[in-house]
Amino acid sequence: MTDSNLFFNYPESRKIDVVDDYHGTKVADPYRWLEDPDSDETKAWVEGQNQVTFGFLNEIPVRENLKERLTKLWDYEKYSIPFKKGDRYFYFKNDGLQNQSVLYTLTSLDGEPKELLDPNKLSTDGTVALSGIAITEDGNLMAYGLSSSGSDWQEWKVRNVETREDLPDHLKWIKFSGAAWTNDNQGFFYSRYDEPKEATKLEDVNYYQKLFYHRLGTPQSDDVLIYHRPDQKEWGFSGDVTEDGKYLIISVWRGTDPKNLFFYKDLTDRNAEVVELISEFEASYGFIENDGEIFWFRTDLDAPKGKVIGININNPAKENWQEIIPEAEEVLEGVGLLNNQFVAEYLKDARSQIKIFGLNGDFVREVELPGIGSAGGFSGKRYDTETFYSFTSFTFPTIIYRYNMITGESVVFRQPNVDFNPEDYETKQVFYASKDGTQIPMFITHKKGLELNGNQPTYLYGYGGFGVSLTPSFSVGLLVWLELGGVYAVPNLRGGGEYGEEWHLAGTKLQKQKVFDDFIAAAEWLIENNYTSAAKLAIAGGSNGGLLVGACMTQRPDLFAAALPAVGVMDMLRFHKFTIGWAWCSEYGSAENAEDFPVLYGYSPLHNLKSGVAYPATLITTADHDDRVVPAHSFKFAAALQEAHNGDKPVLIRIETKAGHGAGKPTAKIIEEIRDRWAFLVRTLKIEIA
């Protein structure tokens, strides 16, 4: 019995004799039984763990005060960026504390909005979420996807925008797909999988996606199979229709690898075959739009930070491709087409820059943004002269602007009213050296006038994977942490996309340890520069960021006082055996590969816990309906951590019910989870509440 078990009566985690042989290395997996979320034993274990966890959390006096403050701050109107289809505008709005945002439509921006779909009416507890919408070009019909309890599985329906009545159409077994209407408004393209086994649909692997066309008013069984590849089980298909309605464009993806293929089909010819325009997985290609037979793409081919090219589909040989906007020092994140101009969204040191170019690539102007932060939006049609964009930063809630493409003028369209003064806080960006000398940027946010005495509670948050860029964004939860006197630090680790594809690849597969080195170096920099100390430092991250936290707390348990891994990938030897986990092999490698195995085994959080070590206070969070990173990762890690841990700090797991990986989670559950996160840190970091 470890010392911690004297303080915490953890449920027994039965050990079984299961050993796998990986290329001659024998690896035990004593908690394999926890991979079955539906067994009576696992359910009893989950209930027992939650009893211990909530028993601990319920005893923290400040817990309810935190919920009150979070709820008060959260209660402000939140708007999405409006978009236009036909003569209608569409946008989402949340009155403040609604579990799900409501979709509205109106015919003029100063007109009276009409409620089009309120997901809150679809379930009593807000666990049915709107997971996708696609509206016809005339604005009269909407296809929409629903997901339940946070699952990635979707069902799609069709609604008449004017009458708000649903048509009989009902499509099932859709995952990782949107919908793309044909310009005649008679049907749409979508991707789906074969019907899974009901009992194991949240764990079974997802292979052999197929692209279909659904014609309105017909049963799903009559849908037309447009494209599939029985010889390529890992290929997925994303269909879209060009603005002129002439082409179906098909992006072919393989797991989470950014490299993709690109096919198209002529929709004006009923007998047209699918044409393989780009048939090698050698780079990323994002379709922008077409000008007749000229297809424009954003690509990182021979340009890790991105460029814009034009391909004539009648003369598609690579030597005939035209470079329109060359690679820049900044990372080209995305490109739109408005006012017959390219609107290019760049990242410079993880903050937004927006530049406008002519169709020939000539620079027109840079959009003046309010400050250092993240901008998004700029959607619309080729000849639109107005658009909308959002701007946010760590201490400024999202403001929506209306932008005139002709004059370059931005006007505030929606500005939230949140119960705090942003002038009380500041954000700075610093650069620090990682273990190998690479300079890593980091945003640091805190109250103005912070005393650098090495004693501030600090929340170090990271991700570092899949080319995802962590840019400045506002969070009510973060605001409450700052009000507690906390410091919030976000380093832009390798593995992300902040400096393009080379930066991403520098933190993948055999190089993954560099991501953990970057995060550990961030912690050391914060301590060396008197922001905090090891006794006051917490680390956090979700999904791939949960892996980051798990790896760093097992490699440097001395460096952190608390660790909060959320929905993390903790078993690096078996992740590919569940749902969409196989798709991450392009990022991590696979234990089935003899070259990858020792690297994965060397940092896998589950396999690097050592008996007798005092680990940081740990609050693992997961959800019973997570079919992206199955909860078995967190279950097995918690069982192994509780057995290995030799200290008086709690190592707990909080298991949310009727929730998934995070998407669509109702507001009430989000507030409760953040409340518990801060309450856990108030107690374990010994934060004094004024």
The phi-psi region of residue 514 (left if phi > 0; otherwise alpha if psi is between -120 and 50; otherwise beta) is: alpha
Rounded Cα distance between 356 and 338, Å, is 9
Helix 632-644 to helix 40-58 angle (10° resolution) is 60
User: Do 395 and 371 touch, CB atoms closer than 8 A?
Assistant: no
HEC assignment per residue over 489-549 = EEECCCCCCCCCHHHHHCCCHHHCHHHHHHHHHHHHHHHHCCCCCHHHEEEEEECHHHHHH
User: Do 686 and 455 touch, CB atoms closer than 8 A?
Assistant: no
DSSP state of 216: T
| Amino acid at position 249, single letter | I
Token couple for 207: 């292979």
Rounded Cα distance between 545 and 567, Å, is 9
Residues ≥6 apart with Cβ < 8 Å to 201: 153, 627
User: Do 424 and 502 touch, CB atoms closer than 8 A?
Assistant: no
HEC assignment per residue over 629-644 = CCCHHHHHHHHHHHHH
Residues ≥6 apart with Cβ < 8 Å to 548: 462, 463, 464, 465, 493, 515, 516, 519, 541
DSSP lists the bridge partners of residue 441 as: 431
Rounded Cα distance between 473 and 373, Å, is 7
User: Do 191 and 174 touch, CB atoms closer than 8 A?
Assistant: yes
User: Do 560 and 593 touch, CB atoms closer than 8 A?
Assistant: no
Letter string b/e over residues 194-233, b meaning 16 or more CB atoms within 10 A of that residue's CB: eebeeeebbbeebeebbbbbbeeeeebeebeebbeeeeee
Rounded Cα distance between 42 and 414, Å, is 47
Token couple for 678: 């801060």
Rounded Cα distance between 540 and 518, Å, is 14
Integer angstrom CA distances of residue 128 from 122, 148, 195, 229, 324: 6, 4, 20, 32, 44
Active-site residue numbers? 543, 626, 661
Other CB atoms closer than 10 Å to residue 662's CB: what's the count?
A: 18
Residue 397, CA atoms < 13 Å, CB-side half-sphere: 19
User: Do 494 and 500 touch, CB atoms closer than 8 A?
Assistant: no
Q: Of 502, 496, 495, 466, whose CA–CA distance to 327 is shortest?
A: 502
**What dihedral angle (degrees, nearest 10) is formed by the CA atoms of 548, 552, 557, 558?**
-120
DSSP state of 218: S
Q: Give alpha helix (H) positions in 275-321.
A: none
